[in-house]
């Protein structure tokens, strides 16, 4: 499920690409979706500032990542899929929810909320990375998720405050690494009860290959939970 195209106003493109690579390697068939709604705003990524008087549609922008093969989120049903995965990027906090503005008092897009609740009720796994675990924390009370560490640690974890927000949303936060320095194992947290799998991804200031491998751990565990 995508939220636009570009880290500051949509889907984090490297995360989406990593997810697609790992799903392909795992032999999964993939269909991409996005809500057919306006973006909260448009960011000029070269300046890091809003592009005034410009508007874009989340579905249309997400189609850039999907190479055109995408459908409205309203068409996503649990009957057609074994699992659902949400990449990160600020779009998850701006277009899939209002978390970027409202924090613990945020609202989640009704189709996103429907999808999360439907997959949870059906006992089908849900994967999320980077900032998107806040969606599960808001919608699935008591879900265990990770966004990495709970302290900034000199800028290594610049969004560490999100962990506190997750607790305020009703979720349980579990501290995880983006990577271990002494072993090629990259961390994802698996909430076996709720079948929710999360990994920090770009919540950590680290090398891109660590992000890629952490997402791989998330995808691998999501596929494992499908039982196929």
Which domains occur in the chain, in start order?
Answer: 72-226 (3.40.50.880)
pLDDT in tens, the chain (228 residues): 999 999 999 999 999 999 999 999 999 999 999 999 999 999 999 999 999 989 999 999 999 999 999 999 999 999 999 999 999 999 999 999 999 999 999 999 999 999 999 999 999 999 999 999 999 999 999 999 999 999 999 999 999 999 999 999 999 999 997 655 444 446 899 999 999 999 999 999 999 999 999 999 999 999 999 998
Instruction: For residues 19 and 85, give the distance between their C-alpha atoms in angstroms, rounded to a whole number.
Output: 8
For residue 174, indicate whether it is catalytic: no
Asked whether the beta carbons of 57 and 38 are under 8 A apart, the reply is: yes
What token pair was written down for 135?
């969606």
What pLDDT is recorded for position 187?
87
Write down the pTM of the prediction: 0.95
b/e burial code for range 178-217 (CB count within 10 A of at least 16 → b): bbeeeeeebbbbbbeebbbbbbbbbbbebeeebbbbbbbb
Which whole-number Å values give the CA distances from 114 to 53, 59, 84, in the listed order? Answer: 31, 17, 12
Tokens standing for 222? 């999501």
What are the distances in angstroms from CA 125 to CA 54, 88, 216, 228?
37, 17, 15, 12
Q: Which two tokens stand for residue 32?
A: 């991409």
Residue 99: its pLDDT value, please? 98
Q: Which residue has the tokens 């410009």?
A: 54
Q: Where are the beta strands (DSSP E) in 54-191?
A: 70-72, 84-86, 126-129, 144-145, 172-173, 189-191
Residue of 5, 106, 129, 130 marked active site: 130
Which class for 122: exposed (0-12), middle (13-18), buried (19 or more C-beta within 10 A)? middle
123 contact partners, CB below 8 Å, separation of at least 6: 195
Give whole-number Cα distances, 181 to 172, 187, 210, in Å: 26, 12, 10
């Amino acid at each position: 499920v995508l939220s636009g195209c570009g880290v500051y106003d949509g889907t984090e493109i490297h995360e989406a690409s990593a997810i697609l690579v790992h799903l392909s390697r795992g032999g999964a068939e993939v269909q991409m979706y996005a809500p057919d709604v306006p973006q909260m705003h448009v960011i000029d990524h070269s300046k890091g500032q809003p592009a005034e008087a410009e508007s874009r549609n989340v579905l249309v922008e997400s189609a850039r990542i999907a190479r055109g093969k995408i459908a409205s989120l309203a068409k996503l049903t649990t009957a057609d899929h074994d699992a659902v995965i949400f990449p990160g990027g600020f779009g998850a906090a701006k277009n899939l929810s209002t978390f970027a503005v409202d924090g613990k008092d945020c609202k989640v897009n009704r189709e996103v909320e429907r999808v999360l609740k439907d997959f949870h009720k059906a006992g089908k796994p849900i994967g999320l990375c980077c900032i998107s675990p806040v969606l599960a924390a808001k919608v699935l009370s008591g879900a265990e998720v990770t966004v990495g560490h709970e302290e900034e640690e000199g800028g290594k974890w610049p969004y560490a405050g999100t962990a506190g927000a997750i607790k305020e949303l009703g979720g349980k936060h579990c501290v995880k690494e983006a990577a271990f320095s002494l072993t090629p194992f990259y961390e994802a947290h698996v909430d076996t009860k709720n079948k929710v799998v999360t990994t920090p991804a770009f919540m950590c200031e680290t090398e891109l290959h660590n992000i890629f491998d952490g997402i791989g751990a998330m995808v691998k565990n999501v596929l494992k939970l499908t039982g196929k």
